[in-house]
Chain A
Amino acid sequence: MAETLDGTELTCRQIIDFVQAYLDGELPPREQTIFELHLTICPDCVNYLQSYQATQALSKLTGEDEPTESPIPVDLIQAILAARKKT
């Protein structure tokens, strides 16, 4: 008899443990199916998944800002250029 899967086979805790593997496409097919079934019955886990993805996107965004500049002390510039001469 074919196995019947439903979304209650994983707890929310397990779903959250597997979020990264799910997003990276690393879950085996059976676990992926259970994961997605769980999402159909658990709005809290849907919110968690969406906010986890938003966290990744927001982190990436901070790296895309035009970088500010921090003035370099003149003696450091001189030290770098002097060190080049020694190499």
Chain B
Amino acid sequence: MSDSPPTMLAGDEVVLLQRLRSGDDAAFAELVQTRGPRLLVVLQRYLPQDQDCQDALQEAFISAFKALARFQGDSSLGTWLHRIAVNCAMMRIRSQKRSRERPIEDYLPKFLADGHRQNPGAAWAITYDTAVADNETRELVRQSIDALPESYRLILLLRDIEERTTEETAELLELSVANVKTRLHRARQALRELLDQHFG
């Protein structure tokens, strides 16, 4: 009798997983050809160089192949591969020498001597619903995230977009939990300032 299918996998993923676990060459080719293009886009958000993205993609698939036997199906195959790819990108980033980046203070809100904000601006004229419906708004947010200093951008991506925990983010970036919290707050503040120019 075969094991019951893992709960988070779609029917076609269960079949694909069974083929992968049986060592079916065609299944591995199918996995790389169908999942690779999306993973490459994910990696391009983290790694600016094409060669790094391609190397990380290869590392991600090899890690996934090795971990197939341990995959419990507690997420979809796509989500599982996505996490592995981001982890590979982080390992690659950690191993690279970091270039100098613009100080985060340049992006943070400025204050008067009495503690009031300089140029507080108006309430934002944007709602979540309009943002959902508007591709241009989402593209503007994406570009603003990309404009953040690298070390802060990575934390924002991991915490607010990938929804990794603070502890997981700290481990991936080899930072303390307290440092991740502080940097995340600064990253959000900096992004808010960038978006304020458009929405405030």
Contacts and interface: CB of A to CB of B under 8 A. Distances in A.
Interface in A38-87: 44, 47-48, 50-52, 54-63, 65, 67-73, 76-77, 79-81, 83-84, 87
B192 A55 contact: yes
B142 to A, nearest CB: 5
Interface in B8-56: 25, 28-29, 32-33, 36-38, 40-42, 44, 54
Contacts of B32: 72, 77, 80-81
A28 to B, nearest CB: 16
Contact of A83 (B25, B62, B111): B62
B181 to A, nearest CB: 7
A61 B142 CA distance: 10
Interface string B141-164: 110010000000000100011110
Contacts of A47: 120-124
B103 interface: no
A27 interface: no
A59 B200 CA distance: 17
Interface residues of A, number: 39
Interface of B: 25, 28-29, 32-33, 36-38, 40-42, 44, 54, 57-58, 61-62, 65-66, 109, 111, 114-117, 120-124, 126, 128, 131-132, 137-138, 141-142, 145, 156, 160-163, 181, 184-185, 188-189, 191-192, 195-196, 199-200
